[in-house]
Structure 1
Amino acid sequence: MEWRVRAIRGATTVSENSVEAIREAVHELLEALETYNQLDPEQIISATFTVTRDLDAVFPAAIARERPRWDSVPLLDVQQMYVKESLERCIRFLIHFNTQNPDAPIYHPYLRDAQTLRPDLSIPQVSLSS
């Protein structure tokens, strides 16, 4: 079987600019990413997180590094371009990964208010913590 590089994108929002709110949202987003895509962090080539200019309490990559096996994933945080009247308090990611199954469906997790960004890609809202 041949390996192939694929990409997953996703987004979420936070209720406030606090470490706790950002931590909760990033963990929820990455849990959805791993669960729905059956993605092992060891397959990840790199992950780029973007945040809107109203979020500066903590880097999402620092939160991602708290997760099991994410400490060796190359991570980058950048500020998203400001567009007037765009979604506020938003965290997005773009993750590239290696796969031996290039035909497997990809689920792009758009959670919370970020579902409005891509309703065509939104996955059903379920509790992933139970």
Structure 2
Amino acid sequence: MNQIKNLNYNLSFIRGATTSLGNTKVDIEDAVKELIDELIKRNEISAEKILSITFTVTRDLNACFPASIARKYNGLQNVAFLDCQQMYVPNDIKHCIRLMAVVILPLNVSQNHPYLREASKLRPDRC
């Protein structure tokens, strides 16, 4: 990892989630793009300030990898990505895509965690 030379910044962890309309590449792509857009917009960050993103998906999503979509989008080709399957819990939200992003934020900026679509039920306090 590159050294952070400016001490006016913090290493921050941002959570977020959304849902896909279905288990198709197009539906997952739409959901991932919207989630990444909101992550960037709400936290006023550029691609070079995103160090890594870990995606988890519920077991009903297997048409494609969210990281393969995100990597080609919004200048994120140099970000470290990882895809994982979310632990199965009965009655969990269907078609759910969660993320945890490791980003560099200015000291005076608060994290804004995007919870979109049906995933807004997970954290109504952050919608």
1:76 alignment partner in structure 2 = 82
Work out whether 1:63 is the aligned partner of 2:45.
Answer: no
TM-score normalized with structure 2 length: 0.91
What are structure 1's unaligned runs of at least 5 residues? 123-130
TM-score normalized with structure 1 length: 0.89
Q: Is the 8 A contact 1:6 1:102 kept in 2?
A: no
1:128 alignment partner in structure 2 = none
2:116 alignment partner in structure 1 = 111
Return the match for 1:50 from 34, 56, 59.
56
What's the offset of the Cα at 1:68? 2.9
Which residues in structure 2 correspond to 1:1-130 (within 5 Å)?
Answer: 1-2=6-7, 3-99=9-105, 101-122=106-127
Identity %: 44
What's the offset of the Cα at 1:24? 0.4
What's the offset of the Cα at 1:97? 1.0
Give secondary structure in 1 for the equivalent of 2:126.
coil
Q: Is the 8 A contact 1:12 1:25 kept in 2?
A: yes
Give secondary structure in 2 for the equivalent of 1:120.
helix
Paired letter, 2:111: I
What CA distance in whole angstroms lies between the structure 1 residues aligned with 2:36 and 2:103?
14
Paired letter, 2:93: L
What CA distance in whole angstroms lies between the structure 2 residues aligned with 1:5 and 1:25?
26
What CA distance in whole angstroms lies between the structure 2 residues aligned with 1:119 and 1:66?
30
Paired letter, 1:48: T
Paired letter, 1:79: Q
Paired letter, 1:31: D
Runs of 4+ in 1 over 6 A off after TM superposition: none
Paired letter, 2:116: L
What CA distance in whole angstroms lies between the structure 2 residues aligned with 1:7 and 1:50?
15
